[in-house]
Amino acid sequence: MDRDEIRLPMVEIFSTVEGEGAAAGFPTTFIRLFHCNLRCVWCDTPYSYAPAKPVFEATIAEIVQEVRKYPNEYICLTGGEPLIHGEKSRQLISALAEIDYIKDIHIETNGAIDLQPFQDLRETNPFVKAKTRFVLDFKLPTSGELDKMIHSNFALLEKQDEIKFVIGNDVDFEVAKEMVEKKVDQGTPLFSPVFETMQPAQLVEKMLEHKLSSVKLSLQTHKFIWHPEKRGV
């Protein structure tokens, strides 16, 4: 099948500002794919996986066409889990990286997908190599999905990548701290609080107390700008 004709289940494509991580504050085109292989307790996008249904299907050509409606140089490829579609996801990433004015594609992946095929793509496609970053969301105990994490993914990360730890309590913090100390070689660790159970000030205090000088606090600023449950922002 021609790459442009490959179809993917979709939730939404929209333009907003990135709310977290290295690209926070930049106008960004969000591409949210449907389906996820995890069911995190505190997931804030349950409409992106079953029993919900895809909002629509789109070919890669149609996705690229929609992206080109926006002038944003940044793309966030997210879900659900955007890499769950395997070769289809690889082909989409290649097509997005070939858009001339795009300079950054950050791929939010949940830690339970083997990154090797996508790292191989980075190594063989110069556009993908130059423009893509993984944002590896390593799940901690309060997510209920810690046992699904693929630890070998850490060795595949590069300097430009990010590792996000969503921290809900002290146990989560200790596990995240251990991962940073023992597993993270390259990439920037991000600690993000679950607001209902871990206040930002509390998390900052713990980061300073434990001298985590390589860790960056990451707040979901879009939830300060809009209502936390508002979609399409």
Whether 76 has a binding-site annotation, put simply, is: no
Backbone angles phi, psi at 4, to 5 degrees: -65, -20
Whether 36 has a binding-site annotation, put simply, is: yes
Whether 21 has a binding-site annotation, put simply, is: no
Whether 78 has a binding-site annotation, put simply, is: yes
Q: What is d(CA 133, CA 162) in angstroms, rounded to the nearest whole number?
A: 8
| Cβ–Cβ < 8 Å for 74, 23 | yes
Q: What is d(CA 214, CA 212) in angstroms, rounded to the nearest whole number?
A: 6
Whether 18 has a binding-site annotation, put simply, is: yes
| DSSP 8-state class, residue 198 | S
The verdict on whether omega for the bond into residue 80 sits within 30 degrees of 0, i.e. cis, is: yes
Render 38-107 in DSSP notation, one character per residue: ---TT-S-GGGSTTS--SEEEEHHHHHHHHTTS--SEEEEESS-TTTTTHHHHHHHHHHHTSTT--EEEE
Give the number of residues written for the chain. Answer: 233
Whether 80 has a binding-site annotation, put simply, is: yes
Residues 6+ apart with CB under 8 A from 155: 185
List, as residue ranges, the binding site.
17-19, 32, 36, 40, 42-45, 78, 80
List, as residue ranges, the binding site for substrate.
17-19, 32, 78
List, as residue ranges, the binding site for Mg(2+).
45
List, as residue ranges, the binding site for S-adenosyl-L-methionine.
42-44, 80
List, as residue ranges, the binding site for [4Fe-4S] cluster.
36, 40, 43
